[in-house]
Structure 1
C-alpha cells in the first residue's frame, strides 16, 4: 500500500505569525488538507514558538478528534522535559523525536543512536506508556550498528531524513544515487522490524522515485514543498497532487 501523507503545518503557522492576526488559519488549512485526503497533520513546536505555537496544539487535537477521527496527529521535537510534557497533554498518535538544537532553522540530521541509546530508550518507554507510536529521525545512510541501536531503543519507526535527496532537484544522477542510499537504509530497517517514515524537502517531482524504491514506506510528512505547491494549486489541490505522486 502506498505511503500515507501527513501535512506539516509549520510553514502555514510561520506565515500567520508575521502579523498579530489569526490568518492564515492553521486549523482551517489543516481541515482542508484532511478533507482532500491527507491522512494526518504534523507540527514541530519549537521552544521559541516561531511557527507552531503551544496554543495551536489543543485546537489541532480537537479538529482531528471532532471531525477526522481516522486521521493522525504527529508531533515532532527534541525530547526536552517541556516537550515531553506538551506531548503528554496533547496525546498525539505519533511522536517523532529529532536531535535538533533549539536554534536550528530546521531539522538537518538524524540521531546518533549508539551514543544516545540509554537516553532514547528511557524516553521511548515513557512516550509509549501514553499510547503514542514513536519514530526517530534517522540519517539517510545510517549503518547497521546505528540501526541496531535504533531498534534497541524500543521505537516503532525511523523517519529517514530526505533533505540531501531533496537538494538534488537539478542533478538527476545524484538524486538517483541518493534514492538508492535511502532504499538500502530502509531495507535494513525493515529487516530489523522497524517501520520507515520519510520527510524533508519532498516534492511532487521527487516523490515517485522514492515511493518506487521504498515500496513499504509507511508515511511521509511534508510541509515546505506542499505549502509552496498550495500557493499555486490551493491546499486541496496540493494534497491531491502529493497523493498522486505517492501512487494514491
Structure 2
C-alpha cells in the first residue's frame, strides 16, 4: 500500500504570522490539501507559537471531524506538560514526539532512546491510554539497536528523520547511501513490529527512491518542500504531485 501523505501546515502558518492578518488561511489551505488527496494534516505547535498557534488546533480538529472524517490529525512536538495538555484537549489520531529544544528552528535529530527510554515510556502510556497513536522521531542512521528501545517504550510507530537525505539534493551518490541507511533503520523497526513514517526535507524528486527502498512506509509528513511547490503549482496540484511521488494512483 502506498505511503500516505500528511501535509505539514507550519510553513503556511509562519507566512501568515508575518502580519497581524488572517491570511494565508491555514485551515482553508488544509481543506484544499485534503480535498486534493492528502490523508492528513500535521502541525508542530512550539511554545513561542512562531508558526502554528494553539488557537489553530481546535479549528483544524473541527475541519477534519466535520468535513474529512477519514483523515488524520498529527501533532508533533517535545512532550512538555503544556504540549501533552494540548494533545489531550485536541485528541489527534497521532502524536509524534520529537526531542526539540524550544530554540531550534526545526527538528534536526532523533531521540537518544538509550538515555530517554524511561522518560518516554510514561508519556507513551499516557497518550496511548487516551486512544492516540504515538510515533517517535528517530535518526535514520542504519543502526538496528535503537529500534528495540523504541518498541520497548510502547510506541506504535517511528518517524525517520530524513533531513540528511534531503540535504543530498545535489549529490545523487550520497543520496543513494543515505536512503540505504534509512532503509536499514526502517527494516529494523519493521522487524520489531513498528510501523514506519518519514519526514523532513522530502520532495517530489526524492520521494520515489525512498518509497522504493521502504515499500511499507506508512506515512510521510511534508511541509517546507510542499509549501514551496504550492507557491508555484498551487496547493491542490502540489498535493496531487506529492501523492503520485508516494506511489498513489491519483
TM-score in terms of structure 2 length: 0.98
Q: What is the Cα deviation at residue 73 of structure 1?
A: 0.1
Structure 1 Cα separation of the partners of residues 193 and 237 of structure 2: 35
Q: Does residue 103 of the first structure (1) align with residue 103 of the second (2)? A: yes
8 Å CA contact retained: 1:114, 1:145: no
For residue 206 of structure 2, what is the aligned residue in structure 1?
A: 206
For residue 158 of structure 1, what is the aligned residue in structure 2?
A: 158
Structure 2 Cα separation of the partners of residues 146 and 186 of structure 1: 11
Q: What is the Cα deviation at residue 143 of structure 1?
A: 2.3
Runs of 4+ aligned structure 1 residues displaced above 2 Å come to: 142-145
Structure 1 Cα separation of the partners of residues 146 and 247 of structure 2: 31
Q: Does residue 55 of the first structure (1) align with residue 55 of the second (2)? A: yes
For residue 168 of structure 2, what is the aligned residue in structure 1?
A: 168
Q: What is the Cα deviation at residue 130 of structure 1?
A: 1.1
Paired residues, number: 248
Instruction: Determine helix, strand or coil for the equivalent of 1:111.
Output: coil
Extract unaligned runs of 5+ from structure 1. none
Structure 2 Cα separation of the partners of residues 126 and 196 of structure 1: 21
Extract unaligned runs of 5+ from structure 2. none
Q: What is the Cα deviation at residue 142 of structure 1?
A: 5.3
Q: What is the Cα deviation at residue 168 of structure 1?
A: 0.3
Structure 1 Cα separation of the partners of residues 153 and 127 of structure 2: 12
Q: What is the Cα deviation at residue 102 of structure 1?
A: 0.4
Structure 2 Cα separation of the partners of residues 194 and 42 of structure 1: 20
Structure 2 Cα separation of the partners of residues 245 and 170 of structure 1: 19
For residue 222 of structure 1, what is the aligned residue in structure 2?
A: 222
Instruction: Determine helix, strand or coil for the equivalent of 1:7.
Output: strand
For residue 128 of structure 1, what is the aligned residue in structure 2?
A: 128
Structure 2 Cα separation of the partners of residues 35 and 145 of structure 1: 40
For residue 115 of structure 2, what is the aligned residue in structure 1?
A: 115
Structure 2 Cα separation of the partners of residues 105 and 142 of structure 1: 25
8 Å CA contact retained: 1:5, 1:221: yes
For residue 79 of structure 2, what is the aligned residue in structure 1?
A: 79
Instruction: Determine helix, strand or coil for the equivalent of 1:70.
Output: coil
Q: Aligned-pair RMSD on alpha carbons?
A: 0.6
8 Å CA contact retained: 2:143, 2:184: no
Structure 2 Cα separation of the partners of residues 134 and 142 of structure 1: 22
Instruction: Determine helix, strand or coil for the equivalent of 1:13.
Output: helix
Q: What is the Cα deviation at residue 136 of structure 1?
A: 0.2
Structure 2 Cα separation of the partners of residues 87 and 197 of structure 1: 19
Structure 2 Cα separation of the partners of residues 49 and 144 of structure 1: 35
TM-score in terms of structure 1 length: 0.99
